[in-house]
Each structure stands twice: as C-alpha cells, then as structure tokens.
C-alpha cells in the first residue's frame, strides 16, 4: 500500500538577515557572500518540522550555512562557516494552496536575549573557519547548537534536539532556552543555558555529526523520544563500522523543566546489503521520528538516493536504562550477542520506500510531521545553497498520502 505524492511546497526567498539576534546587518551578509556564502535568501528550516494544526507548521534550521568539502574549506577536516553570526532558529509558516508563507522567525537565544551560535562545541566536532583556506580557526563554542528536530508542547513551548552534545532543549514559545538536558561531561562545559545532566554519559560518545537527530512527542505531551542519527562506536573499527543499532531515549516530559529519561532502547537500521545505493552502513541513518501510538513511532531512515519510512514498535523492546550493558559500547558492536544478553531491539516495519515513488526525488529528508493516520509531511534540508547543494535548490516540503490508514504493528 504505497502513498501518493499529494503536494510539494517550495520555501520562498527569505533574507538571512532575519536569522540573527540582533538582526544581521547588510555588511555582515555581504562579508559572508565574499567568504563563500552563495545566496543570502535560501535558508533551510526543514531540519525538523512539526504540524501545529490546520495549515500551520513550525520548522527549525540547523547550525547554519556551512560546508565540509575540503576543496572549499581548504582544510581536510575543517568546516567553513562563512556566516558565523547565524543563529539557529525556529520558523513558523503556513502552507496553503501550494504556497508557503513565513509568519515568524524566532532565533534561539539565552535569557537576556543573546542568540545562540551554530559553531561546533568542541574541536572534535569539527574545526570551524570563516573563510576558505583561512589560517586561523574560529574558537569552539561549548554552548553551540546544531538543532535537528522540533515538537511543540501543549502549552506552546518547544522541545528541540541538538546534535552536538547531544542534548534535548526546552524553549519558550519565542525561542528562549529554558533548560538543556545533556551528558554530564558536556553540561560542565557550557554556561549559556540552564543545564541538567540527564542524558546518559555513553551518548557523549556519539560519532561526529551523528548526535540527536530526532524528537517525537506523544499526543498528550507527557512522553518524548530522542534518537541518535547513527550507531555509537568508532567508524574506523570494523566491529562498529558495521553496526546497525541506534540508541533511543524515552523521556517523561510531563514537567518539561524537570524531564527525566525513563527508558533506553536499541533501534535497528536497515542492513547495508538491502541498500545498494549506500557504500557504508554509516550512510544509512535516522533523520526524524513522530508519534503514532503509545508504543509506535514513525521513523525516517535515509541513505544516498533512498528514503524509507518505517514503523518502530517499542511494545516488546528491552528497556536498557539502568542495565550495566548500557553503560559501555559492548552492545553497540555489530557482533554483540543481544539475544544471549536478553536484549530485544525495537521491531521495525517498512511502510514507504522512495524507490517505489519516482516522483519523490529528494533524499536529504530531515523532518517529519504526522497530519493524520494516512497523511504525513516531510521536509528536506537544502544546506542553505552551500555544501552538498551544488545547484542552489530551494528547500522543499512534501505531502505523502496513503489510501488507507497506516498499519499498526500487532
């Protein structure tokens, strides 16, 4: 039962000056254009998306315009940030009659008003430069944010996830960070936001650019799930390079400012052998997740030239929180004897594969919003027209519609 591509929306031109706190000046934008920024009006706020009801949505930017191409940066392991003043932002918009209209850009900020940065929090997250072939790097920002997911709470506040720490954040309806949950080692470093070390320390061992990529929220707003983009463990170790297991944290967010993890799970990615467009298992990763029922999430899994939507059934999955095995990387290895350890991963069921819908021509899908039991919206990340976006394409959203309700795992 395949869905139809019911609609495609294109993000209109929006000047990047709106993504600052205070607003970025024309001189700052011009300087960035001279340092490698290609466009001043092609933002991406599809790193995460949530449906607010009717025709209204909220999206989030990631860390801002950047490129990791060594030919562009001039350094093998560097990152080009031509506009380091960029502030990761929430964006409210309306998608009606095929047209997307932005109603508000809300830069994420600390108490007192100063905007967050998208700069790497550690040099191990990437060494940042503000111009190609620069000899001096930008200093890391221990409070830097790479936001990758968003859900609105029932009272109008937002849950965000950040890839760097990784962390779960609670913001006001206008983007002020009220609380940041992260591993202890990262909480001790950052000073910009009220911090609480509730994320298990093992999550700080996430691979570079593979932190929290997804956040799902139950309909009543009392439970949330945060999911790493990929497995833990070093990419250069064959035991971990072939791993398919991704860690998931389930949270009690009934009081968002006193949130606590209540469960931890392993979620399996599709095998490399079933994804011929990928060269390595690490190229298959989780982009977003949304709540469907008490024990079921809908998950976006992407790979080069391939997007899948999969049902994740937690009903029989083993809760690892508090178990000694969860404190080490042993269970993340490809050869980990999970069954002998009495560990059952999350059960996965495919419900969409982009290869079966040729009209769906985008593989950089990062956001997911469930509209009903037979309709979802997904969003792409156009990288601000820099980096992997070689043709300067504008960001897009896609509405997928099934002829019947999505199946639920038995």
Per-residue pLDDT band for 390 (boundaries 50, 70, 90) equals: low
Q: Distance (Å, rounded) from C-alpha 268 to C-alpha 287? A: 14
Burial 152-168 (b: 16+ CB within 10 A, else e): bbeeebbbbbbbbbbbb
For 212-271, the pLDDT digits (tens) are: 999 999 999 999 999 999 999 999 999 999 999 999 999 999 999 999 999 999 999 999
Beta-strand relationship, 195-196 and 177-181: parallel
Are β-strands 245-252 and 260-268 bridged in parallel, bridged antiparallel, or unpaired? antiparallel
What average pLDDT score do residues 140-164 get? 97
d(CA 61, CA 19): 9
User: For 167-217, how does the pLDDT look when each residue is reduced to its tens digit (9 = 90+)?
Assistant: 999 999 999 999 999 999 998 887 899 999 999 999 999 999 999 999 999
**Share of residues in the chain with pLDDT > 70 (%):** 98
Q: Which residue has the higher pLDDT, 57 or 44?
A: 57
Kindly state the tokens that stand for 320.
Answer: 């690892």
Burial of 312 (0-12, 13-18, 19+ CB in 10 A): buried
Domains of the chain: 4-401 (2.115.10)
Please say whether the beta carbons of 213 and 229 come within 8 A. Answer: yes
pTM for the model stands at: 0.96
Q: In the block, which residue shows the tokens 């998608």? A: 95
**pLDDT beyond 90 at 18:** yes
* Dihedral pair phi/psi, residue 34, rounded to 5°: -80, -10
pLDDT of residue 157: 98
pLDDT score of 391 more than 80: no
Handedness of CA 229, 178, 49, 68 (dihedral sign): negative
Please give the torsion angle defined by the CA atoms of residues 80, 307, 221 and 203, in that order, rounded to the nearest 10 degrees. -50
pLDDT of residue 72: 85
Q: Rounded distance, CA 28 to CA 328, Å?
A: 45
Query: Nearest to residue 145, comparing CAs of 212, 206, 200?
Result: 212
Question: Nearest Cα to 113, choosing from 242, 235, 22, 238?
Answer: 22
- The answer to whether residues 233 and 204 touch, using CB atoms and an 8 Å cutoff, is no
Mean pLDDT for all residues in the chain: 95
DSSP 13: P
Indicate the range of 59-68, 132-141, 381-390 predicted with least confidence. 381-390
**pLDDT over threshold 90, residue 76:** no
């Amino acid at each position: 039962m395949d869905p139809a591509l019911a609609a495609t929306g294109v993000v209109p031109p929006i000047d990047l000056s709106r993504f600052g706190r205070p607003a970025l000046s024309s001189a700052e934008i011009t300087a960035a254009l001279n340092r490698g920024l290609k466009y001043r009006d092609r933002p991406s706020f599809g790193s995460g998306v949530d449906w607010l009801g009717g025709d209204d949505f909220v999206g989030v930017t990631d860390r801002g315009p950047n490129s990791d191409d060594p030919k562009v940066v001039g350094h093998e392991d560097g990152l080009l940030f031509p506009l380091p003043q960029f502030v990761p932002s929430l964006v409210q918009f309306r998608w009606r009659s095929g047209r997307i209209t932005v109603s508000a850009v809300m830069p994420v900020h600390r108490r007192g008003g100063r905007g967050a940065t998208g700069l790497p929090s550690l040099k191990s997250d990437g060494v940042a430069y503000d111009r190609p072939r620069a000899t001096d790097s930008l200093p890391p920002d221990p409070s830097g944010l790479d936001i990758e997911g968003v859900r609105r709470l029932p009272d109008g506040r937002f849950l965000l996830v950040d890839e760097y720490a990784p962390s779960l954040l609670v913001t006001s309806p206008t983007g002020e960070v009220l609380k940041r949950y992260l591993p202890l080692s990262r909480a001790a470093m950052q000073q910009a936001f009220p911090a609480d070390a509730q994320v298990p320390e093992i999550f700080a061992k996430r691979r570079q650019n593979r932190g929290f990529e997804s956040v799902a929220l139950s309909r009543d707003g009392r439970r949330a799930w945060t999911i790493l983009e990929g497995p833990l463990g070093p990419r250069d170790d064959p035991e971990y390079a072939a791993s398919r297991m991704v860690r998931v944290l389930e949270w009690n967010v009934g009081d968002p400012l006193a949130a606590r993890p209540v469960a931890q799970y392993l979620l399996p990615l599709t095998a490399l052998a079933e994804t011929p467009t990928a060269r390595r298992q690490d190229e298959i990763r989780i982009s977003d997740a949304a709540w469907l029922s008490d024990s079921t999430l809908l998950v976006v899994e992407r790979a080069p030239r391939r997007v899948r939507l999969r049902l994740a059934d937690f009903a029989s999955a083993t809760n690892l929180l508090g178990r000694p095995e969860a404190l080490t990387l042993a269970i993340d290895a490809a050869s980990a004897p999970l069954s002998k350890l009495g560990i059952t991963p999350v059960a996965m069921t495919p419900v969409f594969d982009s290869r079966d819908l040729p009209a769906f021509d985008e593989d950089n899908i990062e956001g997911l919003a469930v509209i009903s039991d037979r309709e979802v919206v997904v969003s792409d990340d156009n990288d601000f027209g820099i980096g992997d976006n070689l043709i300067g394409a504008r960001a897009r959203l896609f509405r997928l519609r099934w002829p019947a309700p999505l199946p639920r795992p038995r």
